[in-house]
Structure 1
Amino acid sequence: MKTRTTAEGGIWGPVIDFPIIPVAAYIVPEYPESHRMMVFSAFSPNSFGGDRGRTQFAEFDHRTGTISERQVAETQHDMFCPGMSSLADGRLVITGGSNAERTSIYNPDLNTFTQGVNMQIARGYQSSTTLSNGKVFTIGGSWSGALGGKNGEIYDPATNLWTLLPGAAVEPMLTYDHEGIFREDNHAWLFAWRNGSVFQAGPSKAMNWYYTDGGGGVTPAGIRDSVNDAMCGVNVMYDVGKIFSAGGAQYYYKAPGLSSAHLISIDQIGAPATVERLPDMKYARAFANVVVLPDGKILITGGQGWAEGFTDLNPIFSPELFDPATKTFTELSPEAVPRNYHSVSILLADGTVFSGGGGLCFDDGTGAVSQHCRDTVDHPNGQIFTPPYLTTGAARPVISRIATTIVAPGGELRVTMEGTAEGVTFSLIRIGSVTHSINSDQRRVPLTPEPTNGVDVVLQLPGDSGIVLPGAWYLFAVSAQGVPSVAKTVFVRL
């Protein structure tokens, strides 16, 4: 483990105050560059509780630093503790949570929220993922609604209908928790794959393949860890079929954090996954967050050494950067504010990372806070982290033009660089949405350029929509020195 400080360890910007606690975050996709981030809390800026039918939002423009706030009540949906997935056209589907049966759909082109049809099963703390066919799969979520039996279901945006998949049973993915099913089906690590399939990598020790055709199905995919489940551990697909996971805790509440890390590789649908135990992180981290960077390295921020929500016990201020090429962790410059339960991190188009939130207490309906965390672990703020690749002084490559911003799997992106394209590589990173340590929207696909002259390149996308999922993506150019460009926004559509 190497420790870096100052510019070598990245640079944290000033603390940015928000009118709400950012418990969830979403990058609004727009061309040429996606520069707005939406965050939301619950019915209140700093409290959750009950099914109040409204949600507090704020919008942050990271280019200008401006922040605006907004209450969303038109869908009668308190969106605290939801599933989130972005569609092929950039719309965001937000499901369940405090209003456990609800579906809300955000349209970034119109900046409006509309009510979708209710789910078949009321859920909270579920996860969801956009499939290779553009539909959305969700499973689990006994935090709200009835307890247990939260089998998978699928949303079709073309018909605005949810269909229950009785064969997509939730039981194979359950963890063991001393609080029971209330916690055991929470926050599945879902990775959409080929032909409408979904690979579930955790947080249970057991991994599974889920199928979404017909009545659905599930088959085992092996064991990730023979010792511990990893509730609220971090997980991300950083390369095609390559999944990094780390941290978490055996129990959701009152358990030691974990430092273990794994590399999970998948290829053929239904085949057992290959698991490699990686070196441990320096710090045990429950409730941390993860972002895959344009160069393929992985940034883990925040978390605490003891999993206990609504506290800042044993906070971890220093991020760690994992390099898949060397399989090493590097400790980076410390953040100013603890980021534990109810925090977020998300990649911005300029290659920096927003980290914020934490806290947000329960309101029992009287206006009194029943869990006494106010002013101690409530963090209605955030910071922007500049990773080390932007602090070396090396020049950034510049994408000056993309011939088309809408491309199908297997299609081409024709890119013009400002200056030479020599030595430049490219990566697509799907624009993310994050809450409760889950960002199933983000994944990275490296692209090999085919030069056509000194400044123009052709990028051939993989032909499988299970790899390049439909939706909005960042396109980054990365210099030979490892410095990323500012990303342009492209849409993959079927």
Structure 2
Amino acid sequence: MLRWKYVLPILAATIWCVAPYGVAQVAAHDEPPPPSDIPGQFQPDTCTNRALCGELQPLTPMQSAEGVHAGLVWKKGAESPKLIFHARFPEFMGKDIADPDAIDAAIAAGKLFNGIGAPPNDGNDFDFSLRNSFKQLVYGGFLLRQGLARSVPTRIHYNLFMERALLFDPTHPSAFANHGVFDVALLDTDDFELNLSAFKETGFSRGLNYNLYCNGAATLEDGRVVFVGGHDMNSNNGLFKVNIFNPETETWAPRTRPCTRQNWADDPFGTKLFAADPHAPYYPGCNPLEIESTQPDDPSDMKYARWYPTAIILPNSKVLVLGGTDQDATLGPSPVPFPRDNNSDAAFRASKIHQVVPEIYDPVTDRTIALENARKIWSVYPQAEIVQTGPGRNDWKVCAIGGQSAISDSPLGIQFDGPYTGKTWCLDVHAALADPDRNVPAEKHWTLIDEAAEGHDYCCSTASLLTLGKKGQTLSHKVVLFAGKEPIPGSTNPNARRATKTVQMIDWAQPNPHWVRQGDLLQTGLNHHSVPLPDGTVVITSGRDTSKGTFEEFHSLRLQHFNPVDGSVRQLAKTTVSRGLHGNVFLMPDATIFIVGEDRINLVPRGDRAFPPGDPDLGVPNGQIFKPPYLFKADGTLAPRPVIESAPKGITYREEFDISVAGPASNIGSIVLMRTDVNTHGLTTGIRYVKLAFEVDDKKGKHGRIEVKAPSHVAQAVPGNYMLFVLNKAGVPSVAKHVHLTRHEDEKHEDEKHEREDREREEREHDRHANR
């Protein structure tokens, strides 16, 4: 347990600290002046008016896993969702990867407060606790002390004995219990014990057999979550696997279990193995460098292994998979550092390829179809969007940012690492599926629409905003793209790029959609995370610009507010917690947002408010609730909120449905649907704001009755779970009602007919190639 109790009165406030650079506990907006000999330390928040800036709440412990991959999931008919999340090694416990005794010894030796020193002393004193037995028997001998693996060791001892895939219940009485701590360095075991009962482990014990780190995810119409690809041993090495989580049972779909995982369960740490043979290279018959050991065949497998792929739910309730990378694990580990980043094995990393063939996963058959005829090379995690292209229910395409030419018949993908552009392409999925030459390598069925001003190596923080008319038409379909990379002036390296603060927006409802520059972000940065609000604006969190030399320029700590009406960006409240690529953010049913994630080792950087020297070992997983300005009156008190008294549990397309609100319906200014999904790395392909048309009958309206127009087309709002909000004319949102948007039965039958035709075509193609 950690708790610091040295008292120092400053300006009549009680501050807890450890001199000379100890940990200081301070209330929000009540920071002491930064020490003069720590340049670039955290600066006090200047945006403190709740009505303009909103308000951040104390930190919430998130137990044993960083929320790198996370999202809201719903049981059928449930009033509230749960939050599923995981990080690297979700199919293991922390103790499997890191030795708790070694961590305890480091803490006893004072390693928590030795800070970040001159290179190579990065302060990661828990690194040596990572187990060689795990590295050898499960990880193929590849470098383990790199990336998010370094965040597995933690000073919260009992978290090491929990799985690294969790389900968080925000409605649990203790879910957000806290001691009023706003600084990561101050969180300790006492804080983590407050809300432990709000979490449930959902890893190996619930049927998960694979490392889903760096997967793509999409939520199906029935609420199940499809996770495609992931992490086979080291970074960039992909999985063929399609794993599915069922919120109803809170379990994973059955998949073939790797011998590496089964043997570790039977003989943890190889204790029996090494007792019999101290020089055993791996479990008998289970060489991790052989694909059969880590990824045994399963009928649901994709054709191509993928790490960092995009998955997006389609209007026909299938899932499109784009991009991703893979490497050749058979090359084995190498003691020579890879010259690019010193973090992986040379030959292994040099074998990295990008997968250029899209695949479509069909949840009915639990199989995938490869679109060899629609090749394109993408940056990792290309942002994709469903776009209605005509008046018919099947008039839609999938549009994505950053595609490059990929004409190649190589079965091994393409080696390309940029630079990437902002080229924006749309894929005709129907045409690609129906193409008789679907299995012939080609680059067909893509249409170039426009080019955004900047490209992304990791694409990218966006927001999807739709407004529908009374006749069911799409009045606007805006997608906002935050920040990017531009060439460095004067650089002789064509791949050299620097972060920007550019905001661009495209309206897909326009006859000739194109990217238009908006107002800039407050500072340059990458790896932001954005979330649409029920009022149609967007909150941007997190981000870093690693080229900057001062703490405030390096870390984007100020939350930002984007208004798509005028393209403006303004400052909101400021957090003390720096989050980057592995952060995440969600809209909650009470119209607050929940900010989570980031590598544990990055959460207490040099310049940190509570511990200015910075120390990675002090970081612990956490989240933070933000109350947007619309929840407050001008005087800073909470605003009265509209109340939805009744709403249907389910709605179908093109129908009109009634809701009832407390008080006169004439007080309601807007009604919106907000789709939920699982996000990662700023990728939010399934999140969408949909503003609905509605009418208030004079007679019924006096009693709070409102008639609402449901979406007309599946491409406007794909089937699945939504939060329904009403907002009063002052822009204050209600607490959401959970509604399920579903297709009409005749549409389901028509889609099933097309699915049967697709399967029959696939079988004919398979037979034709088999008989050659």
Question: Into which bin does the TM-score normalised by the smaller protein fall?
Answer: 0.7 to 0.9
Is residue 122 of structure 1 aligned with residue 321 of structure 2? Answer: no
Structure 1 residue 211 displacement after superposition: 2.1
Aligned to 2:170: 62
| Contact 2:202–2:208, Cα closer than 8 Å, also in 1 | no
The 10-residue stretch of structure 1 (292-301 or 137-146) with the greater mean CA deviation from structure 2 = 137-146
Closer, same or farther: CA 40–85 of 1 in aligned 2, 3 Å: same
Q: CA deviation at 1:329?
A: 0.8
1:151 aligns with 2:357: yes
Contact 1:356 1:382 in 2 (8 A): yes
Q: Which runs of 5+ in 2 are unaligned?
A: 1-45, 98-129, 141-161, 176-194, 233-238, 256-299, 329-351, 389-393, 403-419, 439-443, 467-475, 488-494, 603-613, 744-772
Q: Which moved more, 1:428-437 or 1:377-386?
A: 377-386
Kept in 1, the 8 Å contact 2:326–2:354? The answer is no
Q: Distance in 1 between matches of 2:70 and 2:615?
A: 22
1:422 match: secondary structure = helix
Question: Following the alignment from structure 1 to structure 2, what is the Cα–Cα distance between the partners of residues 77 and 6?
Answer: 46
Listed as ranges, the matches of 1:177-256 within 5 Å are 185-194=379-388, 195=394, 197-202=397-402, 204-213=421-430, 214=433, 215=438, 217-225=445-453, 227-229=454-456, 231-239=458-466, 240-249=476-485, 256=498
2-side partners of 1:464 and 1:149: how far apart? 32
Counterpart amino acid of residue 6 in structure 1: N
Does 2:96 match 1:21? no
Shift of 1:60: 2.2
In structure 2, the residue matched to 1:107 is: 246
- Which structure has the larger Rg? 2
CA distance in 1, matches of 2:398, 2:327: 24
Q: 2-side partners of 1:24 and 1:412: how far apart?
A: 36
Gaps of 5+ in 1: 175-184, 363-372
- Partner SS for 2:666: coil
Counterpart of 1:406 in structure 2 is: 650
Greater displacement, 110-119 / 473-482: 110-119
1:391 CA drift (Å): 1.9
User: C-alpha distance in 2, partners of 1:55/1:188?
Assistant: 29
Change (3 A) 1:25 1:464: same
Query: Matches of 1:490 and 1:318 in 2, distance apart?
Result: 33
Task: Kindly report which structure 2 residues correspond to 1:94-493, keeping only aligned pairs within 5 A, or say none.
Answer: 94-99=227-232, 100-115=239-254, 117-142=300-325, 147-171=353-377, 174=378, 185-194=379-388, 195=394, 197-202=397-402, 204-213=421-430, 214=433, 215=438, 217-225=445-453, 227-229=454-456, 231-239=458-466, 240-249=476-485, 256-267=498-509, 273-306=513-546, 314-359=554-599, 375=616, 378-392=619-633, 393-402=638-647, 404-424=648-668, 425-452=670-697, 453-454=700-701, 455-493=704-742
Give the aligned partner of residue 56 of structure 2: 12
Q: What code does the residue aligned with 2:73 have? A: V
| Greater strand content | 1
Q: Which amino acid aligns with 2:625?
A: I
Output the CA distance in 2 between the equivalents of 1:314 and 1:254. Answer: 18
Q: Which moved more, 1:58-67 or 1:15-24?
A: 58-67
- Give the Cα–Cα distance (whole angstroms) in 2 for the partners of residues 135 and 380 of structure 1: 34
For the structure 1 residues 380 and 143, does the alpha-carbon distance in structure 2 shift closer, same or farther, using more than 3 Å as the test? farther
1:36 equivalent in structure 2:
82
Q: Give 1:313 deviation, angstroms.
A: 8.2
Deviation for aligned residue 1:238: 1.7
Contact 2:73–2:677, Cα closer than 8 Å, also in 1: no
Amino acid at match of 1:320: Q
Q: For the structure 1 residues 102 and 292, does the alpha-carbon distance in structure 2 shift closer, same or farther, using more than 3 Å as the test? A: same
Contact 2:528 2:543 in 1 (8 A): yes
Aligned length: 463
What CA distance in whole angstroms lies between the structure 2 residues aligned with 1:426 and 1:460? 10
Judged with a 3 Å threshold, the aligned counterparts in structure 2 of structure 1 residues 167 and 342 are, in CA distance, closer, same or farther, namely: same
Cα deviation digits, residues 248-289 of structure 1 (max 9, x gap): 3369x9953220010111138xx7532211111111121110
Quote the Cα distance in structure 2 between the aligned partners of 1:217 and 1:228.
22
Which secondary structure state, in structure 2, belongs to the residue aligned with residue 321 of structure 1? strand
Cα displacement string for residues 37-76 of structure 1 (whole angstroms, at most 9, x for unaligned residues): 1211121677899877997222222233143141512242
**Is the 2:215–2:308 Cα contact (8 Å) retained in structure 1?**
yes
Structure 1 residues 418 and 144: CA distance shift in structure 2, 3 A: farther
SS of residue matched to 1:256: strand
Note closer, same or farther for the CA distance 1:115–1:486 as it changes in structure 2 (3 Å cut).
same
Structure 1 distance, partners of 2:228, 2:618, is: 27
Letter in 2 for 1:432: D
- Name whichever structure is richer in helix by fraction: 2
In structure 2, the CA distance between the partners of 1:352 and 1:34, relative to structure 1 (3 Å rule), is same
| 3-state SS in 1 of match to 2:558 | coil
User: Conserved in 2, the CA contact under 8 Å of 1:142 and 1:186?
Assistant: yes
Q: TM-score normalized by structure 1?
A: 0.86
SS in structure 1 at match of 2:570: strand
Three-state SS of the structure 2 residue aligned to 1:477 is: strand
Distance in 1 of aligned mates of 2:368 and 2:714: 22
Q: Distance in 2 between matches of 1:450 and 1:71?
A: 44
Instruction: Report SS of the residue matched to 1:15.
Output: strand
Shift of 1:210: 1.2
Deviation of 1:149 (Å)? 3.5
Residue number in structure 1 paired with 2:761: none
**Which has the larger displacement, 115-124 or 459-468?**
115-124
1:59 & 1:464 partners in 2: Cα distance?
32
Shift of 1:341: 2.3
Shift of 1:294: 0.2
Distance 2:665 2:571 in 1: 32
| SS of match in other structure, 2:630 | helix
Deviations 1:98-124 (A, max 9, x none): 141111111112211114611121101
Distance change in 2, residues 1:220/1:396 (3 Å): same
Instruction: State the one-letter code of the partner of 1:60.
Output: F
Checking the alignment, whether the CA contact within 8 Å between 1:16 and 1:383 is kept in structure 2 is yes
Deviation for aligned residue 1:336: 2.0
Report the secondary structure of 1:119's partner residue.
coil
Deviation (angstroms), 1:360: 5.2
Secondary structure, in 3 states, of the residue corresponding to 1:279?
Answer: coil
Match of 1:336, SS state, is coil
Measured on the aligned residues, the alpha-carbon RMSD in Å equals 2.9
Kindly, what percent of the aligned residue pairs are identical? 25
CA distance in 1, matches of 2:695, 2:84: 36
Matches of 1:296 and 1:355, distance apart in 2:
19
CA contact (8 A) 1:312 1:340 kept: no
- What is the CA-CA distance between 1:374 and the residue it aligns to? 7.5
Q: Secondary structure at the match of 2:523?
A: coil
**How far apart, in 1, do the equivalents of 2:581 and 2:590 lie?**
26
**Secondary structure of 2:253's aligned partner:** strand
Cα distance in 2 for residues equivalent to 1:427 and 1:336: 32
Q: After TM superposition, give the deviation of residue 473 of structure 1 in Å.
A: 0.7
2:517 partner letter: R
